[in-house]
Amino acid sequence: MSRLVVQHPALADDAVRAIAEAAGAPPAERRPALARWEQVALDGERVSSLAEAWAVDAELVRPGMRLADFRLAAFDMDSTLITIECVDEIADYVGRKAEVAAITEAAMRGEIADYDESLRRRVALLAGLPEATLERVWDERVRLSPGADSLVAALRAAGLRTLLVSGGFTFFTDRLRARLGLDASRSNLLEVEGGRLTGRLIGPIVNAEAKQRIVEQTCAQIGCTPAQAIVVGDGANDLRMMSIAGLSVAFHAKPIVRDETTHAINHCGLDAILNFFDPA
């Protein structure tokens, strides 16, 4: 028997009643954005069908699971901890956002086999932009995803290490790490010469394989196994690091990601992940 957690920022009574009928019992807990059943006999396929029918987040979780059971939480950045894709927004300043965004979207859906080449193509289109453009994107366009602050604070309070591992750029990950108080970050370095972007990257690209390796290395450094890691992401290049995690969450993610993770959040903010766990 599994615990059933149903969530939505404005969880409708009609949805709760319909799911209660399918579960054969009323929820043990009901809050404005949450309904929880302690034990249900529903399988994952039935729960997914109910979630889609009522446009809610509905997940079967292991009873008794605590945040303290985990040692590491690793996050993607773009469209996960923040609401935008930074490379797309930078490209907007040279009038190439639509072109770059189309490549980004295809890469996140897993439709581009060579992620490294797709990133190089996008970065090449940024050549000549003043480095100050990055600051403008940070100040004017970067916004935290709803619930990011609350989730990271709760993870840190429970004693987890926090890692930001991104195919984006160090300019943004360094600032986001400081903004949220994350323990570590890894990402790609844009080359700058004479105060302008060259359209090239410095060093190896943080791709799907690198993300997995970084999570594994971080686990080894803090003395835990990947089974004690929580990994949150949204795109195909997150799947490798998600595949080794004890708990993986697809956050407002592409279908290929939702299909291959242990849990998904499609409607709520990041802090909805906290409701998968028992209170401390």
Active-site residue set: 76, 78
Residue 217 has pLDDT above 90, yes or no: yes
Distances (CA, A) of 241 to 51, 73, 173, 234: 26, 11, 18, 12
CA pair distance 165, 186, nearest whole angstrom: 5
CA pair distance 81, 164, nearest whole angstrom: 9
Residues 210/237, Cβ–Cβ less than 8 Å? no
Residues 82/185, Cβ–Cβ less than 8 Å? no
Residues 142/79, Cβ–Cβ less than 8 Å? no
pLDDT, tens digit, for every residue of 97-152? Answer: 999 999 988 888 888 878 899 999 999 999 999 999 999 999 999 999 999 999 99
Strands (E) across the chain are located at 2-7, 29-31, 34-40, 57-61, 72-75, 161-169, 184-193, 196-202, 229-233, 247-251, 263-265
- Helix axis angle, 170-180 to 132-140, nearest 10°: 40
Give the rounded percent of residues in the chain with a pLDDT score beyond 90. Answer: 92
Domains belonging to the chain, first-starting first, are 1-63 (3.30.1390), 67-280 (3.40.50.1000)
pLDDT, tens digit, for every residue of 139-191? Answer: 999 999 999 999 999 999 999 999 999 999 999 999 999 999 999 999 999 99
Q: What is the pLDDT of residue 280?
A: 60
SS3 26: coil
Residue 1 has pLDDT above 80, yes or no: no
- What does pTM read for this prediction? 0.95
